[in-house]
Structure 1
Amino acid sequence: MRLALTGDVMLGRMVDEDVIRNRSLRPEVIWGDILPVMLKADCRLINLECVISSQGEAWHPATKAFHFRAHPRAVDVLRAAKIDGVTLANNHVLDYGPDALLDCVNLLDRAGIKRTGAGAMLEEALAPAVFALPEASVAVVSLTDNEPEWEATNRKPGVNYVAYNDRGLVEPYRSRMTQVLLSARRQAELVIVSAHVGPNWGAPSRAMQALAHELLDMGADLYWGHSNHTPQGIELYRGKVILYSSGDFIDDYMVDQDERNDLSFLFLVEVEGNRVRQVLLHPIRIEDCRVRRANEREYTFLARTMQAKCAAFETSILFREGVGTVTIE
């Protein structure tokens, strides 16, 4: 079984104006020449770093710098790549308030795209997205440490917010996530935690490492991180895989010439039963609000930087014939 995971997919602002609303362009154009690789996977999952809606007003525009909203035609963009599920626990899904969020989840539901991490109430935000695949069932749980004011409750819409420190989750979030992962395990053979946590730049902190370790100890099989604009090192922890950050996948952001936040990977996770056996990293770049395969120079940069970042966790990654490989013994 092969799962395709991406970093942040932001379909607002110029992506929305120049690509999504442009009726002369087919919806699949945004995925470029990496689309055939995505379509070979058994399941495709993204972190949706915006809200899809035509409703709502900007949330606290005087204090929040960036607000990302995509036209409902963005659903056609997701369907063109046969996206099976999206994670919504992040710092942009409520950029236009609860009405836009609820409109977004309704649009996704009508399109048959599963989602997790946000909803009308806490129970809905906590509920995993479950995928019944031919080889095994997969459950995805989504959480974030961003925007505590957006935390879902039993009375208001929001996200699955968590707080943690150098020792991992703090109460009541530790008890809550324990139950969420137990529920996910009852519904699926493979459990993935999607974590939109930490700052935009830099290596994972001690607290982020403690969070990832604890979530895997609680029963998750794979930690899939994002929020950081660049891919970070992969750690192998007790036979399980931690992707601390999968970087950016689609956006209109300014590019830092040192960090190269326009470069990342499509992560193909190969699974046998409930064990991740291998992770394949296909280098990509963001160009003109679209995703493309990285060229030779970009591949060299990504290979060099990713090997260094993985070495910090004593993880061996082999780059050969344009693809990186991490094998789990």
Structure 2
Amino acid sequence: MTETVRLGFTGDVMFGRLVNERQQHRPPHAVWGSMRETLQSLDGLFVNLECCLSTRGEQWQLTYRPFHFRADPAWAIPALQDVGVTWVTLGNNHVLDYGEVALEDTFDALEESQIPYAGAGRTEANAWEPSHVRVAGLDVALVAFTDNTPEYAADGESPGTARVPITLDDDAVLERVGSALDSAREADPDLLVASLHWGPNMREYPPQEFQDFAHWLVDHGVDILHGHSAHVFQGVEVYDGSVILYDTGDFVDDYSVDETLRNDRSFLFEIRVSADGELRELRCHPTEIDTFAVHHAPSAVAKWCRDRLQERSSSFGTRFERAGDGLHVDVAAS
């Protein structure tokens, strides 16, 4: 086993619409832009896959949906493999955008390429099953769920997401999430990761109930909380030796850009872990989306990202130090 294991976490990886169109005319790896080598250098990479992988299906019409995301697996799977994506969460509000047939295609494509996933499944029980991956000798267990889009929830034998409200006031919620955590811990993993697609869009700060829920998850064994959904990155908290990434923002997409919140800017969040599973360090590498690909942020943009992350993390007492164009937190000392 290597002495230090480097795990990367990103927000939305949305390969549909204009990204999908552009990728028909360039190699699969082009979507990673100038971040490609950095991503390839990681021991593990964990992303929110914010689309289905299929060329089939019809746009969801049962309820109003303003956006529908679908990518061709012929290039999307090679792109994921190119940077060694270790695992994806499908627990989000876009996996059923093209119906059950496209969701089934997504399961098939990931399984055939041996990319584990969680957060959605062919049945309700499947959707709530944890994943287990081995990264440079570390056993990592992952659970994933969302509070978005109730109509996409798996139900009985129907495919869909692991959907649950974010609250500590409902015993049924705590029992369901607690059961998933118990199942993930049965194999005695070195690390337990919870990936949550939670909350509304374009919010710079998590509400208090999300902070309370995050602490509850850590108190029940979660080492890393991987949040996403807001389209803008939120603050980072080190709580009881665990790392809480309240929202990791957007990583690759074609979304319209808010000129104030700058949802085209975020980070690759790299967590360095010891050989025995102790979290040692968090490094935040600034990124920017351009030409439907992700790139290392230029210096002025990197400063903007650093300033915003420090501001949004200040209420958690997180103390960053400069590391290159990014930021660094000594988790073990926090």
Tell me the TM-score range normalised by the shorter chain.
over 0.9
1:211 Cα deviation (Å)? 1.6
Distance 1:26 1:65 in 2: 29
- Verify: 1:15 aligned to 2:15, yes or no: no
Contact 1:98 1:157 in 2 (8 A): yes
Q: Tell me the C-alpha RMSD between the 2 structures.
A: 1.3
DSSP 3-state at the match of 1:164: coil
Q: Deviations over 1:157-204 (max 9, x none)?
A: 110101133xx2623221111111111112222000000001112210
DSSP 3-state at the match of 2:180: helix
Query: 1:158-197 alignment to 2 at 5 Å?
Result: 158-165=160-167, 168=168, 170-187=170-187, 188-197=189-198
Distance 2:126 2:145 in 1: 12
- Name segments (4+ residues, structure 1) moved above 3 Å: none
Report what 1:95 is aligned to.
97
- Verify: 1:208 aligned to 2:234, yes or no: no
Pick the aligned partner of 1:279 from 255, 278, 282.
Answer: 282
- Verify: 1:199 aligned to 2:203, yes or no: no
Report what 1:320 is aligned to.
323
Report what 1:5 is aligned to.
9
1:274 Cα deviation (Å)? 2.8
Report what 2:296 is aligned to.
293
Report what 2:86 is aligned to.
84
Q: Give TM-score, length-normalised by structure 2.
A: 0.94
5+ residue gaps, structure 1: none
Report what 1:129 is aligned to.
131
Q: Give TM-score, length-normalised by structure 1.
A: 0.95
Q: Deviations over 1:99-131 (max 9, x none)?
A: 111110111000111111101011211112211
Q: Deviations over 1:9-52 (max 9, x none)?
A: 00000000112x22xx2111110111111111111111000001
Q: State percent identity of aligned pairs.
A: 38
DSSP 3-state at the match of 1:228: coil
Q: Deviations over 1:37-91 (max 9, x none)?
A: 1111111111000001112111127721011011122112111222111100000
1:146 Cα deviation (Å)? 0.4
Contact 1:163 1:169 in 2 (8 A): no
5+ residue gaps, structure 2: none
Distance 1:213 1:45 in 2: 21
Give the AA of the match of 2:133. Answer: F
Bigger shift: 60-69 or 118-127?
60-69
Give the AA of the match of 2:186. Answer: R
Report what 1:44 is aligned to.
45
Distance 2:51 2:282 in 1: 27
Report what 1:221 is aligned to.
223
Aligned length: 324
Contact 1:221 1:274 in 2 (8 A): no
